[in-house]
Structure 1
Amino acid sequence: MSRTYGQFCGLARAMEMVGERWGMLVVRDLLLGPKRFTDLRAGLPRIPSSILSARLNELEEAGVVRRRVLPQLDASVVYELTEYGSELEAVVLQLGLWGARSLGSPGEEDVFTMDSAILSLYTTFRPEVATNVRASFELHYGPTMTLHALIDGEDLKVGEGPYPDADLTVTCYGSIKPVFAKEISPQEALDQGILSISGDPALLEVFADLFHIPAAPRKVEGLAVR
């Protein structure tokens, strides 16, 4: 890599490796498993192909990403995180939660991908609240995106697609962020038509407690106030 900060500092080195525009989003999407170039393009619809190629090459050079040829007949090339790159998972989740605290309402052109939806649940999950919870949730974001979340105590597993006989099915007609941020109650979300549910209604409060976005500090006369 030619760009450096010229500092003997771990943070500076980390930013040299993954801090270029789109770099961390490529890492984000690879956290969920290997992907073809076309898969990454689909999940990052605004990235030019040339930039994606450059980011992948840089991440590969840094030892964060590697490419592998699948054993199938088509011999497709996929990109995946190395063991070193996989260590970024905790960083990505923590940074995602930090950023989510400042999210407003989604813009008309903002995209919300399946990878983003899955990782948002891992990001906001509170295992300390889930100690005694055993439940399955099916989530629908709009008419085309379905995923599921399985809670087994402090263990969370999120995957794409429906889950047969889920304990609670939640359909979101708008951003669920106000519920996770405790800006509105689950009942208010139902009353306002942001959510609809089927299954055990008592689990909606449980669901809203399991996933949480802390409030961002607000500023008053130039001072940050919590």
Structure 2
Amino acid sequence: MPRRSYAHYCAVSRALDVVGDRWNLLMIRELSSGPRRYSDLFADLPGISTDVLAARLKELEQDGVLTRRRTGPRAATTVYELTEAGSSLRPVLDALSVWGTTLLNERQPTDAVRAHWFALPLGRAVAELVPKGTVTVHIGESAFHYLIGEDGISHHDGPADEADLELHLDLTSATEVATGARPLADIVNADTDFRGRSHEGKPH
């Protein structure tokens, strides 16, 4: 079936022709921290059907937003990852995260949640503590790390090999920081379960 288009000669319209379909930006959110297998995407996009996921992956690949490659022993595993064009959508995700944070309110019993979904709003709080450097955040069994520098902030799967700061949060604390209910600095100052280094590599 041919894809529908707004047929507006407008940059916003053209962008929405590519990423405006339901699930597309959430798929980009999932891939913004690193490659994912099909099963990973399906598990972390509760509510999507296998048919829709497959169709969206195919369309975004055709549009140059993501690519797929073989990896693992005998190249038996297929992973999807963002292209440079796809990665350049991070500011869009950041802006939507800022705008949508005020809409979170209380979590409803029917709301799905994944720890890594807090990576975008937590990143802004982390950058206030560490304007330049590497920070690992653990939320339960999930871990991701931030690279913060003059070019902005990015987050990546897993802990960093060496981090200037390492934080351990539970889901409640992560939610409080993400929604602005509690400053991250308060948690760092009150919690002894974190590790940090100065930029010279010495513990502080």
Report if TM-score (shorter chain) is over 0.5: yes
Give 1:62's aligned residue.
Answer: 63
Give 2:192's aligned residue.
Answer: 198
Counterpart Cα distance in 1 of 2:185 and 2:148 = 25
Identify the structure with the greater helix proportion: 2
Change (3 A) 1:166 1:65: closer
* 2:1 is the counterpart of 1:3: no
2:7 is paired with a residue whose SS is coil
Give the total of aligned pairs.
192
Q: Deviations over 1:37-90 (max 9, x none)?
A: 111111112210001011111111211112212263142221111111111111
Give 1:222's aligned residue.
Answer: none
Counterpart Cα distance in 2 of 1:67 and 1:29 = 14
Counterpart Cα distance in 2 of 1:126 and 1:187 = 9
Give 2:74's aligned residue.
Answer: 73
Counterpart Cα distance in 2 of 1:71 and 1:167 = 31
Give 1:172's aligned residue.
Answer: 170
Amino acid at match of 1:76: T
Give 1:22's aligned residue.
Answer: 23
Amino acid at match of 2:143: L
Give 1:115's aligned residue.
Answer: 116
Counterpart Cα distance in 1 of 2:81 and 2:134 = 31
Equivalent positions of 1:123-138 (< 5 A) are: 124-125=124-125, 127=127, 130-131=130-131, 138=137
Shift of 1:172: 2.6
Amino acid at match of 2:191: I
Change (3 A) 1:183 1:30: closer
Equivalent positions of 1:175-190 (< 5 A) are: 176-183=174-181
Amino acid at match of 1:147: A
Say whether the 8 Å CA contact 2:125–2:183 is kept in structure 1.
no
Say whether the 8 Å CA contact 2:35–2:80 is kept in structure 1.
yes
Give 1:97's aligned residue.
Answer: 98
* 2:161 is the counterpart of 1:160: no
Give 1:147's aligned residue.
Answer: 143
1:67 is paired with a residue whose SS is strand
TM, length-normalised to structure 1: 0.66
Say whether the 8 Å CA contact 2:42–2:48 is kept in structure 1.
yes
Could you tell me which runs of 5 or more consecutive residues in structure 2 were left unpaired when the two chains were aligned.
197-204
Counterpart Cα distance in 2 of 1:26 and 1:84 = 14
Counterpart Cα distance in 1 of 2:90 and 2:185 = 33
Please identify, of 112-121 and 43-52, the stretch whose mean Cα deviation from structure 2 is larger. 112-121
Counterpart Cα distance in 1 of 2:147 and 2:86 = 27
Could you tell me which runs of 5 or more consecutive residues in structure 1 were left unpaired when the two chains were aligned.
190-195, 204-226
Counterpart Cα distance in 2 of 1:32 and 1:117 = 12
Select the structure of larger CA radius of gyration. 1
Shift of 1:173: 5.3
